[in-house]
Amino acid sequence: MDLALKGKVALVTGGSRGIGAAIALELGRQGCHVAVTCRGQVEAAEAVAKQIQGFGGRTLVAKADVADFKESQKVVDTVIKELGGLDILVCNAGITMDGVIWKMTEEQWDKVIDTNLKGYFNYNRAAVAHMKDRKWGKIVNLSSINGLRGKFAQVNYSASKGGIIAMSKALAKEVGKFGINVNVVAPGMVSTEMAEHIPVEFINLAVKETVLGRVAEAEDVANVVAFLCSDRSRHVTGEVIKVDGGQYI
C-alpha cells in the first residue's frame, strides 16, 4: 500500500470494466476511497466497488454519460459531498466507432468526440474547480498511442485522443500554480473486453509492432496511473507516458 494515497478520494470515469476497473481497483488497493462512473454497466461497476470495499475503502457508483456537461458536474459534486472531497481524477471512459473517413457518418464523429474529448473536458473542468481551492490534485487522462501517430479507419478516435493530449498539456500549464499535476497515459493494445471484438489478425499485428512481443494487461496501465496519482510523481506534469511495450517506437 502507498501510504501517501491512503484516505485520498479518487474518481474514475468508465470504471466498470477493462482499464478503468483495473485502475479503480489498484487505487482502492493503495488505500483510496473510489468513485466510479459507468454509462450502463451498473452491476459490473458495483462489483468493482464491492472489491474496493474489501480493501477498506468507501465507494460510490454513478450511472452517467460523461458527454453530458450538467450531469458530469453533478457527479463531481456528489463525490465531494458523499466521500468528503476529490483528490484524484482519472478520465478513462471512451468509445470507438471506426470507419474510413469517406464512409464515416456525422453521428460516428460526434459520438466519439463527445464521449472521448468533451467528456474529459467536462470532468477535468469540474474537478479543477474543487482541486485549485485545496491547492492539491492529481489528474490522469487516458489517451492512446493512436492519438500520437494516427490510425487507419480511426480519424474520429485518433482526433479525440490527440485532443486529450493537447488539452492536458494546456491544462497542466494553467493549474500547476495550484499544486495540481496533469498527465496523460497512452496505452497501446491492451487485453480487455473491448479487444475481444477486434479481429485476431489485428491483435497479431499489434503484437508484432511491440518489442516485448505481447500486448498489455489492464494492470500494466493501472500501475502507471497509480504512480502518477501519488506524490512519488510530484515533479511530473504535462507528460505523456506510453504503456505499449514499445509498440509506438
Residues 51-90: tens digit of each pLDDT: 999 999 999 999 999 999 999 999 999 999 999 999 999 9
Check residue 1 and give its pLDDT: 72
Beta strand pairing status for 180-187 and 59-63?
Answer: unpaired
Let me know if 157 is a catalytic residue.
Answer: yes
Give the whole-angstrom CA distance, residue 212 versus residue 159: 27
Check residue 12 and give its pLDDT: 99
Give the total residue count for the chain: 249
Check residue 202 and give its pLDDT: 85
Check residue 199 and give its pLDDT: 82
The active-site residue, picked from 120, 123, 157, 248, is 157
Q: Along the 249 residues of the chain, how does pLDDT read in single tens digits? A: 777 899 999 999 999 999 999 999 999 999 999 999 999 999 999 999 999 999 999 999 999 999 999 999 999 999 999 999 999 999 999 999 999 999 999 999 999 999 999 999 999 999 999 999 999 999 999 999 999 999 999 999 999 999 999 999 999 999 999 999 999 999 999 998 777 777 888 899 999 999 999 999 999 999 999 999 999 999 999 999 999 999 999
- The structural domains of the chain, ordered by start, are 9-243 (3.40.50.720)
Check residue 206 and give its pLDDT: 94
In this prediction the pTM is 0.97
Give the whole-angstrom CA distance, residue 193 versus residue 64: 20
Check residue 247 and give its pLDDT: 97
Check residue 235 and give its pLDDT: 98
Nearest Cα to Cα of residue 191 among 58, 50, 22, 26 = 22
Nearest Cα to Cα of residue 35 among 7, 76, 3 = 76
Sign of the four-CA dihedral 142, 146, 150, 154: negative
The set of cell numbers assigned to 29 is 488497493
Check residue 197 and give its pLDDT: 74
